[in-house]
Structure 1
Amino acid sequence: MNTPLYEKIYDFISEQIKLGHLKYGERVPSEKELAEEFNVSRITSKKALDLLSQNKLIERIRGKGSFVMKNQTVNKEERQTDLHHQDAKDSKLIALIIQDFDDAFGLKLVKTIEETCLHYNCNLIIRRTGGQIIEEENAIKDLVNFGVEGLIIFPIQGEHYNTELLKLVLMDFPLVLVDRYLRGIPASAVSTNNQSASEELTNYLFSLGHKDVAFLSPSPKGISTIEERVQGFHIAYSKQGIKLNPNFILYDLISSLPQNDLYDYDYQGIKSFIDDNPDVTAFIVCEYYLALALNKALNDLGKKVPEDYSVVCFDCPENSFGRASFTHIRQNELEMGKKAVDLLMKHLKGENIPKHTFIDFTLIKGKSTMEKQNVTA
């Protein structure tokens, strides 16, 4: 089994003290210096220094640094016993409940949550719900009964909230939501500022000369992410002083995954929408897999992207869409995952945490867009 990184730093400092290279009263390298030297996060270097302090090898003075308390021989067996007891005391069991994940969105999020949990010496359980609210309810009940101390949840949303999730919020059970939040429910959430992201996508299409822009998404009812993306779309039109044709919005799509009848239903609906709205020159699509359905429908109708239509969306795997990616909003999954765990750790300590934390996003320009004067549709 590999030695934990924080233990390697602990061994290094204690050995320096044992050999006399670090003497009584001398300053020990800081969290930042150790993190850079050992190529680890500051969470890891902090844990090593905290353990050295708890074992009376160093003294940590706020605003000044860490200093050697005394020269002493460190018995390795005793040290490992101390570390083992410390790990057992500090280790926590938490769980991530998520609909699903892949390289379009979610994979980096899950990896980051797992890695950050390791830094906090937490054990992580992952449960996938497949987008089914009954599975989410069962997962919450099972995990709480199993004894998890905190939850990170990528919630399923609709017109009615998960009752098990509401119970946890009312009990002030330690939990953090990711990607979306529950309107009117005081649960901490970490997400992208979807309204600003959608507005930026729309303005980008305006900058290319597109004014007749369609918006494709599932129903926004009860889903904060989609509600905000719709709002951003409307706000962009309003700020430009351009009248939005209400027929250019398609809300009755269903699937966020390319599977079975749901995907076929969306594909047929999108084809009909294209035929019914010949003035549209560009599309904003709420989800990546719906963008794929749109791309297929356009190809089957003999149209090309971006020559005939510009297409933008939210999230996109790298090197997808054949020769290049869609122009898209890339959510910062790494920061979202890390922040979710950080907040959960604070909640577990009884600290107050913000109810809503927005994470920055990036507009990635792919080859699915071009200026309107070059569009032939």
Structure 2
Amino acid sequence: MSVPLYQQICNDLVKEIKTNNLKVGEQLPTEKELALTYKVSRITAKRALSELEQMGMATRIQGKGSFVTKVKKVQFSGTNRRLLFVMPFEGMNFGNFTPGLLPTINAAEITLFMTYSNYLRENSATSIRENFDGLIYYPMHTEDFLDVLLELSMYNFPIVLLDKKIIDLPFPCVFADNFNGGILATHLLIQQGHQRIAYVMSNEPHHPHTTRNRYLGYIKELKENHLSYHTTLDDPLATVEGILKLIESQALTGLVCENDLVALQIMGVLQQQGYSFPMDISIIGFDNIQATQLSQPGLTTIAQDFQKMGQVAGEMIIDWLDHGIRPEDKKVDIQLIKRNSTRDIS
């Protein structure tokens, strides 16, 4: 994922200051000079300088320009630094990030507080900034709490996202390689001889980028193997509600589901109609939730490394707090876990 242009300019200026190429008291390039150098608008250049001011590394003097400011170094210890980890809701049955996140945060002698998404509804951006030094946020829906998140971004408040990128806000994100996951799931079915494979979703009207990336991996693998049949993201039959009609009308033998919950729901619906897995239909999910090991048959799935994602998120926000530079997005590898819900039909 590319860094916004204003952030690229800001990062370059920070490096110049930290390497002493730009010294304390020295004037920074003007908006016009930055705009010409980076071939960007004056607005973009102005935002880069504003970011530098918010980080405490520059001071703007009316009518003269911006100048490098001496940054006060603060030594933190233990409970002086506080991070908030916001999860979608209590009792989540997927996405256990804490085994990777908690040791990473503890090793940096930072106190971690965990709460649920209602906290962002019930507390203002000002309150969050006053009580915490940073935030790790696992959004259920990327449209939620945009007012609070936007205000926090305006103060360059460190926020690292898990799993889902909020496209219009400048927060770095740690996410699984969902695109490759879609490729791996589809590739397995093609290897097993399946040629009519559907991508099946929930009936949600909007699909998060995780679902879209998995779908794009599915399409890519079909195209590379010259298989013409595929479902679309807006196909009403490519859902739990429409799957029976889709299978019967399209003679499907393989299903790639957007997640394990959808896959398990489909298995239940089809088993009630007399279908057998994998004799009649092969099916694959995503996420490797605990129920996939208990289903009959066990569900083949694409596993995200939640522990690694938690660790990486912790490392990113610690680095941001220590050095004042917003990190870039990070992608974590996925793994195909083959169980008994798929079979070779070739």
* TM-score, normalised by the number of residues in structure 1: 0.64
Q: Name the CA shift for 1:361/1:160 in 2 (closer, same or farther; >3 Å).
A: same
1:279 is aligned to 251
Q: Is 1:338 the equivalent of 2:327?
A: no
Q: CA deviation at 1:145?
A: 5.6
Q: Provide the C-alpha distance between the structure 2 equivalents of 1:87 and 1:158, rounded to a whole number of angstroms.
A: 32
Q: What is the TM-score normalised by the length of structure 2? A: 0.69
TM-superposed CA distance for 1:225, in Å, is 0.9
Q: Counterpart of 1:116 in structure 2: which amino acid?
A: T
Q: Counterpart in 2 of 1:227?
A: 212
Note the alpha carbon deviations across 1:200-240, whole angstroms, 9 max, x for none.
11111111111111111245846221121111111111111
CA 269–146 in structure 1, closer or farther in 2 if over 3 Å, else same: farther
SS at match of 2:323: coil
The alpha-carbon deviation at position 301 of structure 1 amounts to 0.8
From 94, 111, 120, the equivalent of 2:108 is 120
Q: Distance in 1 between matches of 2:328 and 2:266?
A: 36
Following superposition, the deviation at residue 153 of structure 1 comes to 0.6
Rg larger for? 1
Whole-angstrom distance in 2 between the partners of 1:212 and 1:351: 51
Cα deviation, residue 327, structure 1: 1.1
Look up the equivalent residue of 2:261 and give its one-letter code.
Y
2:222 to 231, 237, 249: 237
Q: 2:82 aligns with which of 73, 77, 93?
A: 93
Distance 1:144 1:231, change over 3 A: same
Q: Residues 102 and 112 of structure 2 are in contact (CA less than 8 Å); yes or no, is this contact kept in structure 1? A: yes
Aligned residues of 1:112 and 1:338 also touching (Cα < 8 A): yes
Per-residue displacement from partner, 1:19-71 (whole Å, max 9, x unpaired)? Answer: xxxxxxxxxxxxxxxxxxxxxxxxxxxxxxxxxxxxxxxxxxxxxxxxxxxxx
What pairs up with 1:272-311 in 2 under 5 angstroms?
A: 272-275=245-248, 277-311=249-283
How far did 1:340 drift? 0.1
Could you say what the CA RMSD is over the residues aligned between the two structures, in angstroms?
Answer: 3.0
| SS of residue matched to 2:164 | coil
Cα-to-partner distance string for 1:154-192 (whole Å, 9 max, x where unaligned): 123356872222222232111101112122432111111
CA contact 2:159–2:317 (8 Å) conserved in 1: yes
Identify if the C-alpha distance between structure 1 residues 140 and 178 changes in structure 2 by more than 3 Å, giving closer, same or farther.
farther
2:313 alignment partner, SS class: helix
Q: Retained in 1: the 8 A contact 2:129–2:157?
A: no
The aligned counterpart of 1:70 is: none
Structure 1 partner of 2:99: 111
Query: Residue 199 of structure 1: SS of its match in structure 2?
Result: helix
**Do the aligned residues in 2 keep the contact of 1:104 with 1:288 (CA within 8 Å)?**
no
- Does the CA-based 8 Å contact 1:97-1:151 persist in structure 2? yes
Q: Is the 8 A contact 2:136 2:159 kept in 1?
A: yes
1:239-295 superposed Cα distances (whole Å, 9 cap, x missing partner): 112213447975689xxxxxxxxxxxx7544444444x3411111111111111011
Residue type at the aligned position of 1:110: T
1:214 corresponds to 2:198:
yes
Q: Give the corresponding residue for 1:320.
A: 293
- State the alpha-carbon separation in 2 of the partners of residues 149 and 210 from structure 1: 51
Distance in 2 (alpha carbons) for counterparts of 1:143 and 1:288: 37
AA partner of residue 289 (structure 1): L
User: Which letter maps to 2:148?
Assistant: E
Q: Structure 1 regions of 5+ residues with no counterpart?
A: 1-85, 254-265
Structure with higher RCO (Cα < 8 A, 6+ apart) = 2
Q: Does the CA contact (< 8 Å) of 1:310 and 1:370 recur in 2? A: yes
**What amino acid does structure 2 have at the position aligned with 1:237?**
L
Q: Is the 8 A contact 1:213 1:248 kept in 2?
A: no
User: Residue 320 of structure 2 aligns with which residue?
Assistant: 347
| 1:175 pairs with one of 148, 159, 182 | 159
Instruction: Give the 5 Å matches for 1:152-163.
Output: 152-158=136-142, 162-163=146-147
Closer, same or farther: CA 248–337 of 1 in aligned 2, 3 Å: closer
Give the Cα–Cα distance (whole angstroms) in 2 for the partners of residues 342 and 248 of structure 1: 35
Unaligned runs of 5+ in 2: 1-74
The change in CA–CA distance for 1:247 and 1:183 in structure 2 (over 3 A counts) is closer
| Aligned 8 A contact 1:220 1:226 in 2 | no
